[in-house]
Chain A
């Protein structure tokens, strides 16, 4: 059974046949791409013209997201910027703390007399000036129901008095850097960092155990993927307990599930050997739609949380250096054992010192266990300089940069965290490409919204929320950006032989667009309208999923 789709234009990412008008699909794979008369040679077919006025691209690949974005949409969205939910509804950004409170009040009214807590996410008070959000703000929502909102960064909660009380924190004498106190000696309701957050999380609907294995969340995430043209997405990372793997295997195996999920096993709480053994066992359970068998490692924290590890001269505002999340000895152990076993490792490094250490560790591991084509990837890697990109190239590493940061926190990086010069070279996409380091770019959803075309816009324009261009020399062209969100990301996942371009033999994964991203103009790349996807030859209209 062969279907030939006609399209206004097909952007293939295959340089030997960079565009075409038709693509033939059989058994979920691409039989051929080209003019119709070349494809009819494959025998009987059905001509499907529903995309005749649309543009097809390879299905977009999100190389660094978290399935929890699907979970978060069950909470109230309270971010500063407009954001689309899995239903396609665009939630307008909240312009002030007062507006945040009004929305919570509306949410409270909806819950009526039910005693359940009220949860929100996406709060970003840096856009509301120097004013801090306090428990008194949220006490205007309710004094009897726990109210809690996670910040956009994911590293802070703001809660009301009731939530503090339930967590045993509405008392004098609390002494913790993550729990600021008000003039009355009681916590203000801001809770920073995992320790303080864990205490209130379960009282405000953010229970980690629930979030770890969330079937409805996975389904919502998949719907968001269709709306954003994504056909393959990573979950970076997950502890992958057996019950979560069983759930993901079942759900992704359903005939109507529209996105290939690639979870990475978080390296935590076990030895390097145990981690490698775990993912080798998981690899055997991989399916076409669920790709298991890779490891994610955290080297440091985040720049805006001042927990990233920076080289000299450190943070612009003088904050002390950040934290190591894994000792160098363990990193090197993991790298060596993973190289021996052929296991892919992606490493979170935000600060340039963390990047340097990961490079040193891999260099050492490669001396012990030389390996070709390992594709170990540095994730975020936001502050890498040109010399570090040259080392990545020499060591055979890939990079997955985070240009969305420019838009959401670029002004803060410029003014506070790293200062003008380093802010302007952050996420140096042009340097990575010119150095020849295989590159992907990402959203880290739910930290920023899932949407590779928006991420591409960020890499092309490097525009901050206030309109500043953050280092125009690191802007990349639209064609490069489109290649990066397809074949580039696929390469870092070792899937470039299977997805990432439209050519014979690959999976029939397409993003279906109303507008042509090569014609709409660099400034408007983020405004490309997305009709939906084709995944494994199955058609998913964003409006129907």
Chain B
């Protein structure tokens, strides 16, 4: 678990790094998130425009002015290719498109998402939200044993806050469970989310209610997949007293808590209002923006795996 405390003005734009080998479903996930953006203005940075990064029906235009490396996407989102120069693309983004709420970086199949996340950390205008790594339930173990790309696959998994184990529909339940355990062993700092066709709740990647985009509800949606409530459960805690936010963060990111995402505006013991965010086992505590109202912590996890009692107890004990 890592807890970082920072106070920066203006508020840095959250960045999610999406990694995983070729064919694991990164592009599918990105398209799914764009459809679920729900008013959030997303900037998707992709390594290249090679094999159609965005579904055609989402594209509302290209921008001829900058050499064709930008696609306009419905809902005020954009997609840019960055080639080798991700840093330049991130530096340019605020000038090119002010008012972006969140950045998704889709890395190349052989990139190490942990290194990309470190690079994001060099830029004061951005803050890493989390690292999501996709893995193909059918092929990930074979890939991890490959003489060439094996260590790349395991280094990708090791950096993950959330591993989306995709294509679980292509393997039997036993093989799936075995692969989940295997991936969990390779991703000790992350949590594993089994999925089919990348149909995970958008909130897992895009953040929970209370983000900058004015999202309306916390009803989890998994378009195209099984109803979210079958697979996930959420917990809403009211915390109107001052809490030990560090202890709360430790409880939420503990190995067995089952927390995939959490977010809340809390009053810490010195009376300061802070935002606590958890992605997998990564926690971030930042100063709350002006006008934030304290008191609610929303937690989501896989159904049956969220340690409701433990999380609730921690909230009680730390307050």
Measured CA separation A67–B148 after assembly (Å)? 33
CB-CB under 8 A from A271, the residues of chain B are 48, 50-51
Which B residue sits closest to A179, measured CB to CB?
B122
State the Cβ distance, A48 to closest chain B Cβ, in Å.
48
State the Cβ distance, A245 to closest chain B Cβ, in Å.
14
- Counting CB contacts under 8 A, is A288 at the interface? no
Measured CA separation A178–B85 after assembly (Å)? 16
Measured CA separation A330–B108 after assembly (Å)? 11
CB-CB under 8 A from A176, the residues of chain B are 118-119, 121-122
Q: Pick from A241, A274, A327: contact of B67, CB below 8 A.
A: A241
CB-CB under 8 A from A357, the residues of chain B are 148
- Counting CB contacts under 8 A, is A68 at the interface? no
A198 in contact with B88 (CB, 8 Å): yes
- Counting CB contacts under 8 A, is A196 at the interface? yes
Measured CA separation A174–B123 after assembly (Å)? 9
A177 in contact with B118 (CB, 8 Å): yes
Q: Which of A214-261 contact B (CB under 8 A)?
A: 239, 241
Which B residue sits closest to A195, measured CB to CB?
B119
Instruction: Kindly supply a per-residue 1/0 record for chain B positions 111-134, scoring 1 wherever the CB is within 8 Å of any chain A CB and 0 otherwise.
Output: 010010011011110000000000
Measured CA separation A100–B194 after assembly (Å)? 56
- Counting CB contacts under 8 A, is B152 at the interface? yes
Measured CA separation A274–B48 after assembly (Å)? 11
- Counting CB contacts under 8 A, is B83 at the interface? yes
Which B residue sits closest to A169, measured CB to CB?
B122
Q: Pick from B86, B124, B149: contact of A168, CB below 8 A.
A: B124
- How many A-B contacts if CB must be within 8 Å? 82
State the Cβ distance, A166 to closest chain B Cβ, in Å.
12
A269 in contact with B122 (CB, 8 Å): no
A268 in contact with B50 (CB, 8 Å): no
- Counting CB contacts under 8 A, is A305 at the interface? no
Q: Pick from B51, B84, B109: contact of A268, CB below 8 A.
A: B84
- Counting CB contacts under 8 A, is A75 at the interface? no
- Counting CB contacts under 8 A, is B49 at the interface? yes
Measured CA separation A175–B117 after assembly (Å)? 10
CB-CB under 8 A from B50, the residues of chain A are 270-271, 274
Which A residue sits closest to B82, measured CB to CB?
A269
Q: Pick from B22, B81, B87, B118: contact of A329, CB below 8 A.
A: B22
Q: Pick from A174, A178, A196, A270: contact of B49, CB below 8 A.
A: A270
Chain-B contact segment, one of A103-111, A136-144, A317-325, A498-506: A317-325
Instruction: Kindly supply a per-residue 1/0 record for chain A positions 302-327, scoring 1 wherever the CB is within 8 Å of any chain B CB and 0 otherwise.
Output: 00000001000000000011011111
State the Cβ distance, B112 to closest chain A Cβ, in Å.
7
- Counting CB contacts under 8 A, is A208 at the interface? yes
A324 in contact with B148 (CB, 8 Å): yes
Give the interface centre of A174, A269, A325 by most chain B CB atoms within 10 Å. Answer: A269
- Counting CB contacts under 8 A, is B16 at the interface? no
A269 in contact with B118 (CB, 8 Å): no
B122 in contact with A174 (CB, 8 Å): yes
- Counting CB contacts under 8 A, is B6 at the interface? yes
CB-CB under 8 A from B166, the residues of chain A are none
Which B residue sits closest to A312, measured CB to CB?
B147
A327 in contact with B85 (CB, 8 Å): no
- Counting CB contacts under 8 A, is B110 at the interface? yes
A199 in contact with B122 (CB, 8 Å): yes
- Counting CB contacts under 8 A, is A44 at the interface? no
CB-CB under 8 A from B152, the residues of chain A are 323-324
Measured CA separation A241–B69 after assembly (Å)? 13
- Counting CB contacts under 8 A, is B177 at the interface? no
A327 in contact with B48 (CB, 8 Å): no
State the Cβ distance, B191 to closest chain A Cβ, in Å.
22
- Counting CB contacts under 8 A, is A353 at the interface? yes
Measured CA separation A508–B154 after assembly (Å)? 55
Whether A269 contacts B119 in the complex (CB less than 8 A), given A195-B86, A241-B67, A327-B109, comes out as no
Measured CA separation A357–B112 after assembly (Å)? 19
State the Cβ distance, B56 to closest chain A Cβ, in Å.
17
- Which size bracket describes the interface of A in this complex? 35 or more
Whether A328 contacts B148 in the complex (CB less than 8 A), given A198-B88, A208-B85, A208-B88, comes out as yes
CB-CB under 8 A from A41, the residues of chain B are none
Measured CA separation A268–B108 after assembly (Å)? 11
Q: Which of A171-211 contact B (CB under 8 A)?
A: 171, 173-179, 194-196, 198-199, 208
State the Cβ distance, B287 to closest chain A Cβ, in Å.
15
Instruction: Kindly supply a per-residue 1/0 record for chain B positions 139-165, scoring 1 wherever the CB is within 8 Å of any chain A CB and 0 otherwise.
Output: 000000000110110000000000000
Size of interface on B: residues with Cβ below 8 Å to A: 33
Which B residue sits closest to A269, measured CB to CB?
B83
CB-CB under 8 A from B91, the residues of chain A are 198-199
- Counting CB contacts under 8 A, is B253 at the interface? no
- Counting CB contacts under 8 A, is B47 at the interface? yes
CB-CB under 8 A from B118, the residues of chain A are 175-178, 195
Whether A175 contacts B121 in the complex (CB less than 8 A), given A198-B85, A208-B88, A271-B50, comes out as yes
State the Cβ distance, B87 to closest chain A Cβ, in Å.
4
B83 in contact with A268 (CB, 8 Å): yes
State the Cβ distance, A271 to closest chain B Cβ, in Å.
4
Q: Which of B12-35 contact A (CB under 8 A)?
A: 21-22
Q: Which of B261-300 contact A (CB under 8 A)?
A: none
CB-CB under 8 A from B86, the residues of chain A are 195
Which B residue sits closest to A194, measured CB to CB?
B84
B149 in contact with A324 (CB, 8 Å): yes
Which A residue sits closest to B84, measured CB to CB?
A268
B148 in contact with A353 (CB, 8 Å): yes
Instruction: Kindly supply a per-residue 1/0 record for chain A positions 375-391, scoring 1 wherever the CB is within 8 Å of any chain B CB and 0 otherwise.
Output: 00000000000000000
State the Cβ distance, A6 to closest chain B Cβ, in Å.
51
Instruction: Kindly supply a per-residue 1/0 record for chain B positions 191-227, scoring 1 wherever the CB is within 8 Å of any chain A CB and 0 otherwise.
Output: 0000000000000000000000000000000000000
A323 in contact with B112 (CB, 8 Å): yes
State the Cβ distance, B6 to closest chain A Cβ, in Å.
7
Q: Which of A335-387 contact B (CB under 8 A)?
A: 353, 357
B47 in contact with A269 (CB, 8 Å): yes
Instruction: Kindly supply a per-residue 1/0 record for chain A positions 150-169, scoring 1 wherever the CB is within 8 Å of any chain B CB and 0 otherwise.
Output: 00000000000000000011
B151 in contact with A321 (CB, 8 Å): yes
CB-CB under 8 A from B122, the residues of chain A are 169, 174, 176, 179, 195-196, 199
A327 in contact with B149 (CB, 8 Å): yes
Which B residue sits closest to A325, measured CB to CB?
B110
State the Cβ distance, B55 to closest chain A Cβ, in Å.
17
Measured CA separation A198–B86 after assembly (Å)? 9
CB-CB under 8 A from B108, the residues of chain A are 327
CB-CB under 8 A from A168, the residues of chain B are 123-124
A174 in contact with B85 (CB, 8 Å): no
CB-CB under 8 A from B47, the residues of chain A are 269
B119 in contact with A173 (CB, 8 Å): no
B149 in contact with A270 (CB, 8 Å): no
Measured CA separation A198–B89 after assembly (Å)? 11
Whether A328 contacts B149 in the complex (CB less than 8 A), given A168-B123, A176-B121, A199-B122, comes out as yes
Give the interface centre of B91, B109, B148 by most chain A CB atoms within 10 Å. Answer: B148
Measured CA separation A271–B119 after assembly (Å)? 25
Which B residue sits closest to A209, measured CB to CB?
B88
Which B residue sits closest to A357, measured CB to CB?
B148
Instruction: Kindly supply a per-residue 1/0 record for chain B positions 90-101, scoring 1 wherever the CB is within 8 Å of any chain A CB and 0 otherwise.
Output: 010000000000
Which A residue sits closest to B51, measured CB to CB?
A271
7 closest pairs, A vs B, by CB?
A: A269-B83, A195-B119, A271-B50, A198-B87, A324-B110, A269-B48, A327-B109
- Not counting A194-B85, A208-B85, A357-B148, a sample of 11 additional A-B residue pairs whose C-beta atoms are within 8 angstroms of each other reads A173-B6, A179-B122, A194-B84, A196-B119, A199-B91, A199-B123, A271-B50, A323-B152, A324-B110, A326-B110, A328-B149
Jot down 9 A-B pairs with beta carbons below 8 A, ordered by A. A178-B118, A194-B84, A268-B84, A269-B47, A269-B83, A323-B112, A324-B149, A327-B21, A327-B108
